[in-house]
Amino acid sequence: MYEVNAPDIIFEYMDCNLIVIDGVEGLYYASGGTGAEVFRALEAGYGEDEICAALKNAGAGFDADRAVRQFIRQLVDYRILREAPGRKAPGDFPPFPADGMDQPPAITRFDDLQELLLIDPIHQVDVGEGWPFVK
């Protein structure tokens, strides 16, 4: 199981799309279609096997096992998700929407605002202590 690497990582859904922001590194990510749906399932606590099965049931037009494994590895490499052994999802897996099942999950990484975002002291704010981090 996995969980979002909070508080460094924040995310939101906008319609069917996903935006992920890494405030520490000044990076942001965008995903849509199956990427956003699989991320939604992962952050809710569902496991790889459940997600792959659901994709197959929804008629995925790609190798679901391979694609989900690669997608998860990418999210972990990007420090968006971290492993969370023992985490349990809240209930039965909700079905994926039938549309858009032809493309494997993917996420795009952007660093074009990195220098700008990192200069702003806001990324150094510790919610409890203020800025900068207090050791």
Partner 1 sequence: MVNGSVSVVIPVYNNEKYIGEAVGSALSQSCAPLEIIVVDDGSTDGSAEAAAKAFPGVRRVTLPHSGVSRARNEGARAARGEYIAFLDADDLWEKDKLEKQLEAMRNNPEARIVLCRLRDFVSPDLSPEKRASYMLKGEKTGYHAGCMLIRKSDFLETGGFPEDRAIFESVEWFIKVREKGFTTIVLEELLMHRRIHENNTLQKDKKKIDEAYFSLIRDWLGKKGGG
Residues near partner 1 (CB under 8 A) are: 7, 10, 12, 14, 19, 21, 23, 28, 30, 113, 115-122, 124-125, 127, 130-135
| The token pair that represents 118 in the structure block | 């990192």
How far apart are CB 63 and partner 1 at their closest, in Å? 29
| The token pair that represents 112 in the structure block | 């074009």
How far apart are CB 88 and partner 1 at their closest, in Å? 26
Beta carbon nearer to partner 1, 56 or 123: 123
Which residue in 88, 95, 61, 78 sits closest to 18, CA to CA? 78
Helix (H, G, I), strand (E, B) or coil at 61: coil
Answer for the pair 16, 33: CB distance below 8 angstroms, yes or no: yes
Beta carbon nearer to partner 1, 13 or 66: 13
